[in-house]
Chain A
Amino acid sequence: MRQEDLIVSIKRAVTDGRREEVLAATRSVLAEGMSPREVIEAALVPAIDEVGRMYVAEELFLPEMMESAETFQAAMEVLQPLIEAGGGAVACVGTVVLGTVRGDIHSIGKDILALLLRTAGFSVHDLGVDVAPFDFVSKAQAVGADIIACSALLTTTLTAQRDVVEVLADEGRREDYKVMVGGGATSREWADSIGADGWAATAYGAVEMARRLSAAAGYVAD
Chain B
Amino acid sequence: MQLAELFARADDGPLMPQDQFVMRRLVPALRSSIKDLDITWDKNTFVNSDDGLADRVFEAALRLLETVGVYCPNSDRVMEFSAAEIAAAVAGCPEMVEFGEGAERQTLRARRPDSTARPWVHVGGGMNVSDETVYLRTVEGMASIVAADSIAAPSLPLVEGKPARAGSPQEIMAAVRAVALTRDGLRRAGRPGLPVLNAISTVAASSTMFAATHPEFGMRPSDGYLIDFLAEMIAGYESLQRVAYFTTLGAPIASVATPMYGGYAGGAEGVAVLATAYMVAGRLLFRSCYHFNAPLHSRLLVVTAKPMLWANSLANQAITRNMPMSIFNTAYLAGGSGTRTSHLETAAYLLAVVSSGGHVYTGHAGSAAQVDSLLPIDHEFQAEIGLAAAGVSRAEANRMVAVLYPLYESHLASPEPGRTYDEVYDRSTGRLTAKDLEVIREDVRDELVTVGVRLTKTL
Contact = CB atoms under 8 A, between A and B. Distances in A.
Interface string A108-137: 110110000000000000000000000000
B166 A202 contact: no
Given A63-B23, A66-B23, A112-B298, 13 more contacts: A56-B299, A61-B263, A64-B266, A105-B236, A107-B230, A155-B163, A156-B165, A157-B165, A159-B163, A184-B301, A202-B298, A203-B298, A204-B299
Interface of B: 23, 27, 31, 73, 128, 155, 157, 163-168, 171, 202-204, 230-232, 236, 238, 260-267, 270, 298-301, 307, 367, 370
Given A58-B262, A62-B266, A108-B263, A154 B166 contact: yes
Contacts of A203: 298-299
B232 A108 contact: yes
A104 interface: yes
B53 to A, nearest CB: 21
A156 B231 contact: no
B390 to A, nearest CB: 31
A138 interface: no
Interface string A90-104: 000000000000011
B166 A103 contact: yes
Contacts of A27: none
A62 B264 contact: yes
B204 A156 contact: yes
A73 to B, nearest CB: 14
User: Looking at chain A's contact residues, is the secondary structure mostly helix, strand, loop, or mixed?
Assistant: helix
A155 B166 CA distance: 8
Interface string A25-57: 000000000000000000000000000000110
B166 A104 contact: yes
Interface of A: 55-56, 58, 61-64, 66, 103-109, 111-112, 154-160, 184, 187, 201-204
A106 B239 CA distance: 13
Closest 7 CB pairs of A and B: A103-B166, A156-B166, A155-B157, A61-B266, A63-B27, A108-B231, A157-B166
Given A112-B298, A155-B128, A62 B204 contact: no
B32 to A, nearest CB: 13
Contacts of B167: 103, 156
A187 B263 contact: no
Contacts of B203: 156
A160 B166 CA distance: 9
A62 B301 contact: no
21 contacts: A63-B23, A63-B264, A66-B23, A103-B165, A103-B166, A103-B167, A103-B204, A106-B230, A108-B231, A111-B263, A154-B204, A155-B155, A155-B202, A156-B157, A156-B165, A156-B166, A156-B171, A157-B204, A159-B163, A184-B301, A202-B300
